[in-house]
Chains A and B, each alone.
Chain A
Amino acid sequence: MNTNLKISNVTKIYPGCVANDNISLEFNSGKIYALLGENGAGKSTLVKILSGVIIPDEGKIYLNENNLKLNSPLDAKKNDIGMVFQHFNLFETLSVFENLIIDSDEQRESVREKIDAIMKKYNFSVDLDIPVLNLSAGQKQKVEIIRCLIRSPKVLIMDEPTSVLTEQETSELFLSLKKFSDEGILIIYITHKLKEVMQLCDEVAVMRRGKLVSVSEIKNENIESLANKMVGQNLKTIKKKKAKTSSDQLIKITNLNFTSEDPFETNLMDINFSVNRGECLGIAGISGNGQSELFQVLSGEIISEKNSIEFNNNYIGDLSPQERREYLMAFSPEDRLEQAAIPQMKIFENVALNNFKSSNFFNNGLINENKIKEHSKKIISDFNVNTDNIELKSQFLSGGNLQKLIIGRELITSPDLLICFNPTWGLDVGAINYIHETLIKINEQNKSIILISTDTDELLKLSDKISVIHKGKLSKIMNSEEVTSEKLGILMGGAN
């Protein structure tokens, strides 16, 4: 049976921002549709309207000519619209099965049979009786998909589904989506990754700043044309020049171990590596394999043995992050709003958190506001942060601007080593480009980088050497020229 979904003149206005400006789109089953746009383009708002989470100010939704009243997620479900959210909507402490039955009115046994049938049909394997927090991101997503499939949806919306998946998991997901599409489910695929659109979809709608920019068939597009539509200007492609090989060792990690008391953390086992001046060491891996523990050990959030970390001929394994900063290390953690900045504090206050003895931010225990503000203004202009109001609370900065501010805060003291963890996670193309350029510039100034990232493209682009972390162990360190993303994928999966 054919499914036709029509969005007609949908508008949603937030204070100071038009998230969706008079959007009209039409979808038919049998095809996979991409909804493409940068962060903040309004794609998530649009699909949240389709799934009943957000109520539009104006406009109508029609499913097979029926005008739908979507006032709650329940209404969307009743009308056979299923949605897999970007940030999983799962209950971490409940079991997989409990997560799946929570919105079902049927008997537990009959739901279990249904789930088993779905898993068999699509070749999913998830243990139903363990808590969700023990699952990998890919498995969590399968749980979300199964939850939609139980209701045999007509429409399935996927919001940035691959941001947490490995290459292997991504290709599995694409196979499943194609299968769903063949079975007559209308698929709407939201992403800002161009490669995926080209690979998976039949038609693409591009959004920019709340407006629909274009609707076209994939066969008439290529990556460059889509990128330009998405960003609204021509993007320059950046490439790293081959670094001059230096043998001047900056940091050396020897026999580093970390055993966590928290059973949900990963233990680090026998980590050994070194980074020379001017070099970028990339550390790849599927998230949850010890990256965050490694970052914390390197940054001093977790203290280790004094001799396990040698930096600039000093043993610093037992120093705190602040003390390590004094030795000219800098850190950009993964979670911008939780770890790198305090969301409720103003920009200049966040800048003051990086307090160096030399920066004179404090006089006899009093805050030297002028000094800090001056310093903040310099960061904002040097690092292209798109605001001129340093009194703004940092939670109101977009992800890209916040990341620029954080990187800027770390770099303004010109540290010898920057350790960053997923620095471009969730950012749009423009911001990613800027961050990448900045990182390349650091290496050109003969400073070093340790780049822990789950984005293999980024690692291949920026690193001189690459290693893969799997279950808390590092693979051997390879020169990035001899590595391909396929090879990384295999190592990330745990094979040798």
Chain B
Amino acid sequence: MIIDINFIGLIIASIMASAVPLILASCGELITERSGVLNLGVEGMMIIGAISGFALMTVTGSLIIAIFGAMLAGVLISTIFAFLTQTLITNHVATGLALTIFGIGISAMIGKNFVGIPGKEFPVLFEGLKDTIPLLGPILFGHSIVFYFAFALPFITSYFLKKTKIGLIVRAVGDSPESASNQGINVRLVRYACILYGGAMSGLAGAYLSMIYTPQWIENMTGGRGWIALALVVFSTWNPIKILIGAMIFGGLTIIQFHMQAIGVRIPVQFLTALPYIVTIIVLVVISRDSRKIRLSTPSSLGKSFHKDN
């Protein structure tokens, strides 16, 4: 059997496309967690982004309004989380879980009117270049702007954290909010900003799902991707580049197991469906074993409330 080389390119491209929402949400959550805040509401923020994007697209007809609207929706819902955890000093874990439940519920409610409506076609870039290079053509070209942004994001995030002043402040707050506060850093402000940024990225990830990846609204369409994004952050030991690797493995295995099911490989379906989850975590654990590096990259204050006493 001769396999078309461009077919392999297409498979790789589809793997990358399925990794996009994971990369976006993980990189957003990574910034949130680096500031010491554990937001378990990623799934909820993502699904809010998904319904907001789809609804705005349908109502206004403008893709730009829809994409930015979805990010704004993510920001708004994460503001609730920020207000509760940073101003009212509630528990991060409980608040995050509540956020997810809230997000899934409200998206289903809003989404009722949008079930069955076909989505719009999202413009892709460099479509014409797809056939110019074998294998690489379909991988590199003909994708949406969000796709390119997602693959640049881990590198931008890494640069931001390591090289910029604000990145340094975010890491400092995550390491020791007490010290940061005594140094005159406004811990609450930094954490608010990081939470809102995480919300925006989760919103964008959701919008990618409902507007670009599978352009339609289905209830609960994020299907646990928010939880995977959270796991990626932890198992990558807060390293954006490893998030990229983890998201690719997860996306890859998801796509491949679909094909294996289609071909009819004699492995129980349940096992195939579970495979991406297990393998991704194992691989990330193996590549992140250096306990010294874990100690250095784990935000020491993660999930702990900080209350400035006076």
Contact = CB atoms under 8 A, between A and B. Distances in A.
Given A91-B175, A92-B176, A73 B182 contact: yes
A74 B182 contact: no
B175 A93 contact: yes
B172 A72 contact: no
B172 A102 contact: yes
Interface stretch (B126-134, B273-281, B290-298): B290-298
A264 B295 contact: yes
A90 B171 CA distance: 12
Interface string A67-85: 0000011100100000001
Interface in A33-67: 51-55
A101 interface: yes
Contacts of A102: 168-169, 172, 183, 185
A91 B172 contact: yes
B296 A93 contact: yes
Contacts of A133: 295-296
Contact of A263 (B175, B179, B182, B291): B291
Contacts of A89: 176, 178-179, 182-183
A202 interface: no
A103 B183 contact: yes
B113 interface: no
Interface residues of B, number: 22
Contacts of B171: 91, 93-94, 98
Nearest to B298: A93
A233 B297 CA distance: 51
Contacts of A131: 296
Interface in A96-134: 98, 101-103, 131, 133
Interface string B177-191: 011111111000000
B14 interface: no
B270 interface: no
A388 interface: no
B295 A93 contact: yes
A91 B182 contact: no
B172 A85 contact: no
Nearest to B175: A91
A52 B182 CA distance: 8
B300 A93 contact: yes
B218 to A, nearest CB: 42
Contacts of B168: 94, 98, 101-102
Contacts of A94: 168, 171-172, 175
A111 B185 CA distance: 19
A14 to B, nearest CB: 10
A92 B182 contact: no
A261 interface: yes
A338 interface: no
B184 A263 contact: no
B149 to A, nearest CB: 28
13 contacts: A73-B183, A89-B178, A92-B176, A92-B300, A93-B175, A93-B300, A94-B171, A94-B172, A101-B168, A102-B185, A133-B296, A262-B291, A263-B292
Given A91-B171, A133-B296, 18 more contacts: A51-B182, A52-B184, A53-B182, A55-B310, A88-B179, A89-B178, A90-B176, A91-B179, A92-B175, A92-B300, A93-B295, A94-B172, A101-B168, A102-B169, A102-B185, A103-B184, A261-B291, A263-B292
